[in-house]
Amino acid sequence: MPLVSVLYLAALIVALVSAILADRTRYFDKLTWVLFVLFIPIIGIVAWFAFGRDRRPLPVAGGYYDSERVDAADDVIEAELERD
C-alpha cells in the first residue's frame, strides 16, 4: 500500500509541475487543469497527460522547428567560417 501512495504522489507532483510550466494547453486554460488534477485525483492526472498537454511543436520564425533543417544550416555556417 505505501508503494501505491508514493506512486500516486509522484504522479501528482509531475502532473502539477507539468501543468504549471506548460506553455500551451488544450481544451482548458492552465488554472483549470491544475484544479482538475488537484481535486479529481486519478482521473485528473490521467486526463492531463492524455488530453491537456499540447504536444504540437512550438512555432519559430520561418515555420516550425525542424532539427534537420537547423543542423543543415549549422553545417553551412561552419563551412563558411572554415573558408574564411
Question: pLDDT per residue over 33-83, tens digit each?
Answer: 999 999 998 999 999 999 998 776 666 665 555 556 656 666 777 777 777
Give the global pTM.
Answer: 0.63
Q: Say what the pLDDT of residue 55 is.
A: 73
Look at the block and give the residue holding cell 549549422: 74
Find residue 59's DSSP bridge partners. 64
Q: Say what the pLDDT of residue 61 is.
A: 60
Q: Say what the pLDDT of residue 78 is.
A: 76
Backbone phi, psi, residue 24, to 5°: -135, 150
Q: What is the pLDDT of residues 19-38, one digit of tens each?
A: 998 888 888 999 999 999 99
Q: Domain range holding 53? A: 2-83
Number of domains present in the structure of the chain: 1
Look at the block and give the residue holding cell 567560417: 81
- Mention every residue, 6+ apart, whose C-beta is less than 8 A from residue 40: 47
Find residue 61's DSSP bridge partners. none
Backbone phi, psi, residue 5, to 5°: -65, -45
